[in-house]
């Protein structure tokens, strides 16, 4: 008879380039706790993940088979496939970010290939981003992201609370993940689509009242993370935003 699959799905994780001293200490700790190395590492990871979940940094529940965000050679690749107008298939689209002392710079890249499912577009998108970073994609490159003279609005990694609204109806709250003079990246359970216009309030620590963005346009959406471009902001609020960005630069 064919062998039955276990009730719970499992994956294989191969860890390379482990320092010898660390590996020795892991083996020693596993022996003290009378566990296998594999069991010791799994218990250690589970305990740490539970701490992060308790503090709200990780979502509980089953993860998707393919992560939409991957770190690769110092860059962050984020997959955000979309439906072309009138189509049912998914078009590959990714955002590649690079962070240094000047802030976070993000570039958008895409390919004309269409895929039947979002998951397939995510998988191919991450692979496309890795090839692009390696310089193997003709006509597209991330080299200009490392050029000091590149004229780009620096983005700064932050964790600012925010509220979102459409017209006069309050839609919900979110966390600003990075901020620049021209826009931001935000995580929120609010359901939006590219092209939506939102009013945004940003609560900056040690600032008496929130920054008010009168109109911000949704540029892209990936799960609960989406990008906003600031399209209308009063002069007084722009000056306050400039001061926040200046403080982040000096920090």
- Say what the pLDDT of residue 167 is: 63
Residue with tokens 């003079």: 181
**What stretches in the chain show pLDDT beneath 50?**
1-8, 56-66, 147-151
Q: In what order do the strands lie in the sheet with 90-100?
A: 69-72, 75-79, 90-100, 103-115
Which residue bears the tokens 């929120």? Answer: 188
Neighbours of 163 (CB within 10 A): 18
Instruction: Give pLDDT tens digits for 53-98.
Output: 555 444 444 434 445 888 888 888 888 888 877 778 888 888 888 8
Please report the pLDDT score of residue 212 as a whole number.
93
What pLDDT score does 64 carry? 41
Say whether pTM exceeds 0.75: no
User: Rounded to 5 degrees, what are φ and ψ at 27?
Assistant: -60, -40
Which residues are registered as beta bridge partners of 99? 104
Residue with tokens 């003709």: 138
Contacts of 191 (CB under 8 A, 6+ apart): none
């Amino acid at each position: 008879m064919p062998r039955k699959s276990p009730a719970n799905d499992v994956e294989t994780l191969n860890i390379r380039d482990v320092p010898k001293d660390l590996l020795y200490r892991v083996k020693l700790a596993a022996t003290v706790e009378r566990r296998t190395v594999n069991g010791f590492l799994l218990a250690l990871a589970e305990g740490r993940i539970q701490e992060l979940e308790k503090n709200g940094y990780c979502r509980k529940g089953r993860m998707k088979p393919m992560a939409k965000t991957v770190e690769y050679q110092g860059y962050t690749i984020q997959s955000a496939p979309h439906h072309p107008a009138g189509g049912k298939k998914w078009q590959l689209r990714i955002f590649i970010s690079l962070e240094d002392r000047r802030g976070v710079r993000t570039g958008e890249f895409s390919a004309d290939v269409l895929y039947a499912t979002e998951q397939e577009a995510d998988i191919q998108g991450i692979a496309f981003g890795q090839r692009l970073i390696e310089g193997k994609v003709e006509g597209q490159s991330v080299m200009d992201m490392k050029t000091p003279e590149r004229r780009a609005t620096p983005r700064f990694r932050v964790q600012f609370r925010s509220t979102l609204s459409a017209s006069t109806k309050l839609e919900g709250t979110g966390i600003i993940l990075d901020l620049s003079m021209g826009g931001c990246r935000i995580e929120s359970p609010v359901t939006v689509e590219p092209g939506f216009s939102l009013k945004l309030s940003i609560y900056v620590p040690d600032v008496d009242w929130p920054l008010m963005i009168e109109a911000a346009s949704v540029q892209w959406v990936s799960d609960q993370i989406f990008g906003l471009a600031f399209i209308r902001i009063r002069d007084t609020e722009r000056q306050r935003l400039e001061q926040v960005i200046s403080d982040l630069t000096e920090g």
